[in-house]
Structure 1
Amino acid sequence: MAPQPPPLDEQEWADPSVLLGLPGGNVNSESILWYFMNSIFYDPISNNTVVAQDAGRTNNLAVLNSRKNFESLLKTKDGTAFLVAAEPQAPGQPWVIQRQFRTKGTDEKGHQKMEVRVTGTYYTVGEKILMSPNMLDILQARMLSITTNIQEFFELGRAMSHFAPATGHTYLPPSYEIAKAAAAPGSASRAGSPGAESVVEGSQIASAPAAQASMTEYNDDFFMSTLNMVNKYGHEFMDENPLQGEPGAFVFTSTKEQVEARNKAQAAARETGATLAVPVKSIEAESTVSTAAPTPKSIAPEGTSGPSRKGSIAKVPKLPGEKRRKSKGLTSPTSPTGFGP
């Protein structure tokens, strides 16, 4: 079965060889209708063919060489005719041709009039002739495009909607994968906690592509900086010098030099098998930073005497018949009330 040709409003026509035999050799006022009569949009049984054949038989050059006279005869006949509807007002503007179905009638006063119904519109682009689509085709195409876009939007929104008890309803890109976000740096510490999946879904969306790229690509500069940090800070630990105090007034328990000295002493003690006792006074003397909020006293290390807990000890009931022994200490001096003469 032969393929069906596309509709006329989806085609264009041009034949420069036809213009060579027309007045002026280009598209102008006297050649536009003759040029159009050779196109695929022309109807051979229209009134244009009838008027042209009649003028050719009678050798009526006044009609054949003048578009104005040619169109004047067309407007007096019933039936289909192709007439120029608009002329270009500046270079580059198109010629507009209408296909009109003309019928004679009478008005309310009995005068004859010509009723015109436009059944097609055509225009030129240089030497090309094209057909304008009708309003119904334009509206159908626009409505189809709108409904298609709305349907795609709802399908995309349905695929992007996610719900988690911690974050509620969220929308994620359709190509986003939870596994990539879970493998991102910083998400490992939260992977095993309750609601980790929702945290990953809600907070790792923007950093997932960058994190995935940083894990798959090798970077020499980053590797060397990591080695330098290990060599410089590899012997330090977070719990060696804990903070003490209150929020807004935190201070270190010991200075860096004292921590290093203590570590060396402990290492030497482990080698000799001796027990190291750290005095409390050296630790309490370090918290001398002046702050706005009071700093609580430090807790003494193991093996040393800590702060007194006298106030927290419950009182022991006194046995019956037991007398309390009086203290024989020095009596406090009394201030004189007056001086003699």
Structure 2
Amino acid sequence: MAAPKEIPLDEIQWHDPFEIQRIGGLHSNTVLFYFASSPFFDGTSNNAIVYNQAVHNENMNHLIHTREAFEGRLREMTGLEFMVAQEPAESGPGMGTGVWVIHKQTRRKREPKDEIIVHAAYYLVGDHIYMAPSFSDIVNHTMITITEKLSKCFAIADKARTWSPSTGHGYNTASATTSAKAHALESKGTTPMPNTQESSTSEAKKPTRSAVDSRLAEHSFMIHMQYGGEYMDENPITGKPGEFHLSSTGRKDKMPTLALPSLNTTMVSSSLTQPDKKDAKAGEKTPKTPTGMSKIKRKKSKAGATPTSA
């Protein structure tokens, strides 16, 4: 069976109300002893050594009665220790935050002043103890937050982008989106409310115009790439520029032919050489009727009658 994963100390908060009752309340002289019962405490520190000595040695028992005496003894030693860095102001409205700050640090004796290296900081708010995050954790969390926000921003920007074969790439403006939302929120009292669930489902299934245009453009491009170099005309063109000739495809429409009466060459030549009646001179005789054709007979009208056109 796999061991349970240990939770990092900077991700937990700890409090023990029974321990506060045992030590007689939380105040300046008991804050370090209350902290010593938390999982943030290190049992190999000088705090644990001085406390154990004061409990078993009557000559050192006075060191655990006040925080000043206890911390004075710690300043005389070298090694790991827990010291109160900041204490809250006097209790009362608007007189401080009521937060204790405890440092985990290493003390080294130097002249004229001891060298202190701080490893971690802890906050005691009320009866809850928190561990302050390290600088690397803060930077790491900030970078993760920025990356997450950017990924969401790119997704939103991609949704705002549109494309169609006719207009190309475009972006939905904020005014258009706002007006569309406002138009969607408008309702009329006399209009019956449709089944919103069914309508929304049907609208979701309908492809958008941009999606259809994209598919048509992709299909057209695929056809062009496959058959772009092949062309076929119904009537192939022959010849050279300036003298093109359309060759037939082999299908011709048959036109009905009319039977015309045969004419003699003498009739044709005479008809071509016959002058116009208007241009003919007075006194000239009209040519004789060609042989082979009957002369048209005209009826004489009676006296007093006016001929009418047929």
TM tier, smaller: 0.5 to 0.7
Q: Cα deviation per residue 1:284-307 (whole Å; 9 max; x = unaligned)?
A: xxxxxxxxxxxxxxxxxxxxxxxx
Say if 1:205 and 1:40 are closer, same or farther in 2 by CA, change over 3 A: closer
Task: Provide the rounded CA distance (Å) in 2 between the counterparts of 1:40 and 1:84.
Answer: 17
The residue aligned with 2:109 is: 104
The residue aligned with 1:84 is: 84
Say if 1:205 and 1:75 are closer, same or farther in 2 by CA, change over 3 A: closer
Say if 1:58 and 1:220 are closer, same or farther in 2 by CA, change over 3 A: closer
Q: Which residues of structure 2 form unaligned runs of 5+?
A: 92-96, 193-310
The residue aligned with 1:30 is: 29
1:207, distance to aligned residue in structure 2 (A): 3.5
Task: Provide the rounded CA distance (Å) in 2 between the counterparts of 1:149 and 1:137.
Answer: 18
The AA in structure 2 aligned to 1:153 is C
- Indicate conservation of the 8 Å contact 2:161/2:169, yes or no: no
> Partner of 2:143: helix, strand, or coil?
helix
Say if 1:203 and 1:146 are closer, same or farther in 2 by CA, change over 3 A: closer
Of 54-63 and 116-125, more deviation after overlay is shown by 54-63
Task: Provide the rounded CA distance (Å) in 1 between the counterparts of 2:177 and 2:44.
Answer: 72
1:56, distance to aligned residue in structure 2 (A): 2.1
Task: Provide the rounded CA distance (Å) in 2 between the counterparts of 1:50 and 1:147.
Answer: 47
- What is the 5 A alignment of 1:255-334? none
Task: Provide the rounded CA distance (Å) in 2 between the counterparts of 1:67 and 1:207.
Answer: 68
Aligned length: 184
> Partner of 2:115: helix, strand, or coil?
strand
The residue aligned with 2:295 is: none
Task: Provide the rounded CA distance (Å) in 2 between the counterparts of 1:132 and 1:149.
Answer: 25
The AA in structure 2 aligned to 1:148 is E
Say whether residues 1:141 and 2:141 are aligned partners: yes
The residue aligned with 2:127 is: 127
> Partner of 2:118: helix, strand, or coil?
strand
- Indicate conservation of the 8 Å contact 1:162/1:172, yes or no: no
Task: Provide the rounded CA distance (Å) in 2 between the counterparts of 1:167 and 1:49.
Answer: 74
Q: Cα deviation per residue 1:91-128 (whole Å; 9 max; x = unaligned)?
A: 352111110111223xxxxx353210110111111111
The residue aligned with 1:171 is: 172
1:3, distance to aligned residue in structure 2 (A): 2.3
1:155, distance to aligned residue in structure 2 (A): 2.3
Say if 1:62 and 1:208 are closer, same or farther in 2 by CA, change over 3 A: closer
User: Over the residues paired in the alignment, what is the CA RMSD in angstroms?
Assistant: 2.7
- What is the 5 A alignment of 1:108-119? 111=111, 113-119=113-119
Task: Provide the rounded CA distance (Å) in 2 between the counterparts of 1:112 and 1:46.
Answer: 24
Q: Cα deviation per residue 1:120-147 (whole Å; 9 max; x = unaligned)?
A: 1111111111111111111110111012
Task: Provide the rounded CA distance (Å) in 2 between the counterparts of 1:204 and 1:125.
Answer: 47
Task: Provide the rounded CA distance (Å) in 1 between the counterparts of 2:39 and 2:124.
Answer: 13
Task: Provide the rounded CA distance (Å) in 2 between the counterparts of 1:2 and 1:14.
Answer: 25
- Indicate conservation of the 8 Å contact 1:78/1:102, yes or no: yes
Say if 1:142 and 1:212 are closer, same or farther in 2 by CA, change over 3 A: closer
1:74, distance to aligned residue in structure 2 (A): 0.7
The residue aligned with 1:281 is: none
Task: Provide the rounded CA distance (Å) in 1 between the counterparts of 2:41 and 2:169.
Answer: 65
